[in-house]
């Protein structure tokens, strides 16, 4: 059992799980090594020491271009997308009390995808690509609002949210296919790449914009973080101890949608990250949302970074979307969870 230390100062007290801190530190080190390895590997292979020299001192301009302008923003974007999807999935699994809950299974990703494909097919020519993230986030928000309103019956129960979310997700997936059938051929291919999930061609404005969005969400997440564990109780029990269940559930759902919508807006519809990473995080750290959220963010970041590394190095000169490799891992994991939960 992990050692727990209680820290007190004035009227404030906090228990600190030392095992959780050690594991988080080790995971952060692994994340740094994955990022360094991703910077080193590619069509032009560099050693880790060469990468560090390029990052911290002047070097050959061509190598500086490869590391700092081509690989680094792409890797940072992959890490941010994976972290956001993972924390979003952890929140959904907690408030819905279902281990199979994730943004891509409950309609959030489908709403963003439908709106993004509609924009790419019919509006991008006149308005440009710069409004694509806004369209995706708006689609995610509208889909979630529809799910919440349809699930409302003297409150939105977790079971109704799951059932209606799966139904709305199926409808939106069909709508996305319908839009692609009637869209111009020139935009269909780019829409398919986006639907698979890819950080190809990322430049610094994209990860910086996503980072700014995530920093704006963090205060609300921190404010509601202590209420996540309460959501795992039965609704009547939570109300009995004075918790405003529906308001908190709506607030946490809003945070989850904002995280997933932002990630999908800049990284495409990468599936299964929000399903896999929370389960790994729960196995690595003790119960408690704060520690599990940080661990899930690190696991998700590593997952998408490794998937993107595989996509751009295993089949050179081809550059495959990262979502393909996440799906290769996520599909058997999803089947494993289904079999495990069959009773």
Domain boundaries, the chain: 74-340
CA distance 143 to 150: 11
Q: Which residue has the higher pLDDT, 188 or 223?
A: 223
Distance from C-alpha of 28 to C-alpha of 166, rounded to nearest angstrom: 34
Adjacent-strand bridge partners of 156: 152
CB 86 within 8 A of CB 326: no
Q: Which residue has the higher pLDDT, 73 or 116?
A: 73
**Is 343 a residue whose pLDDT tops 60?**
no
CB 238 within 8 A of CB 230: yes
Q: What is the pLDDT of residues 220-266, one digit of tens each?
A: 888 888 777 776 666 666 666 666 777 887 888 889 888 998 898 89
75 touches 95 (CB < 8 A) = no
Identify which has the larger pLDDT, 152 or 276: 276
**C-alpha span between 313 and 308 (Å, rounded):** 9
Q: What is the pTM of this model?
A: 0.90
Buried b (16+ CB within 10 A) or exposed e, 213-234: bbeebeeebeebbebbebbeee
Q: What is the DSSP letter of 173?
A: H
Cis bond upstream, residue 179 (ω within 30): no
DSSP string of 83-135?
HHHHHHHHHHHHHHT-TT--TTTTTHHHHHHHHHHHHHHHTHHHH-GGGHHHH
- Greatest extent of the chain over all pairs of C-alpha atoms, in Å: 66
Which two tokens mark 128? 């440009």
- State which H helix or E strand residue 7 sits in: strand 4-9
Q: What CA dihedral angle connects 174, 199, 319 and 36, to 10 degrees?
A: -140
- In whole numbers, what is the pLDDT of the chain averaged over residues? 84
Residue 244 has which token pair?
């405003």
User: Interior CA angle at 146 toward 142 and 147, to 5°?
Assistant: 120
Q: For the residues 141-150, what does the mean pLDDT come to?
A: 86
Write down the pLDDT at residue 238.
Answer: 64
Tokens of 328: 């290769």
On whether the CB atoms of residues 277 and 99 are closer than 8 A, the answer is no
pLDDT at 11: 63
Closest CA relative to residue 91, chosen from 210, 249, 286, 271? 249
CATH number belonging to domain 74-340: 1.10.3470.10
Contact (Cβ atoms closer than 8 angstroms) between residue 111 and residue 172: yes
Mean pLDDT of the 271-294 span: 88
Closest to 158 in 3D by CA, of 168, 148, 167: 148
Of 61-65, 78-82, 272-276, which one has max mean pLDDT?
A: 78-82
d(CA 212, CA 258): 12
pLDDT at 134 over 70: yes
Spatial separation of the C-alpha atoms in residues 102 and 86, rounded to whole Å? 9
| CA distances in angstroms from 313 to 43, 152, 238, listed in the order given | 7, 47, 50
The fraction of the chain above a pLDDT of 70, given in percent, is 89
- Rounded to an integer, the average pLDDT of 138-144 is 88
């Amino acid at each position: 059992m992990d050692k727990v230390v209680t820290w007190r100062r004035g009227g404030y007290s906090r228990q600190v799980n030392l095992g959780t801190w050690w594991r988080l530190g080790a995971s952060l080190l692994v994340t740094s090594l994955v990022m360094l390895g991703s910077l080193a590997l590619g069509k032009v292979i560099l050693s880790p020491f060469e990468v560090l020299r390029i990052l911290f001192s002047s070097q050959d301009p061509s190598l500086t271009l490869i590391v700092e302008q081509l690989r680094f923003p792409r890797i940072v974007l992959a890490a941010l997308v994976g972290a956001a999807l993972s924390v979003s999935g952890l929140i959904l699994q907690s408030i819905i009390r279902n281990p199979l809950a994730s943004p891509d299974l409950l309609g959030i990703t489908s709403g963003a995808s439908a709106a993004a494909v509609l924009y790419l097919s019919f509006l991008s020519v006149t308005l440009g690509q710069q409004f694509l993230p806004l369209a995706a986030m708006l689609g995610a928000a509208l889909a979630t609002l529809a799910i919440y309103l349809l699930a409302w019956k003297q409150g939105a129960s977790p079971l109704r949210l799951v059932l209606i979310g799966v139904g709305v997700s199926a409808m939106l997936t069909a709508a996305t296919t319908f839009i692609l059938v009637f869209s111009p051929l020139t935009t269909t291919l780019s829409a398919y790449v986006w639907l698979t999930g890819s950080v190809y061609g990322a430049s610094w404005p994209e990860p910086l914009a996503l980072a700014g969005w995530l920093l704006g969400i963090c205060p609300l997440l921190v404010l509601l973080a202590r209420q996540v564990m309460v959501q795992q109780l039965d609704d009547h029990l939570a109300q009995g101890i004075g918790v405003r269940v529906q308001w908190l559930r709506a607030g946490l759902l809003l945070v989850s949608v904002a995280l997933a919508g932002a990630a999908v807006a800049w990284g495409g519809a990468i599936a299964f990250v929000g399903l896999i990473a929370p389960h790994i995080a729960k196995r690595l750290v003790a119960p408690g949302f704060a520690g599990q959220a940080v661990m899930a963010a690190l696991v998700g970041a590593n997952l998408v970074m490794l998937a993107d590394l595989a996509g751009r190095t295993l089949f050179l000169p081809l550059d495959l979307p990262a979502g393909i490799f996440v799906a290769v891992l996520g599909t058997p994991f999803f089947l494993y969870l289904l079999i495990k939960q069959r009773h």
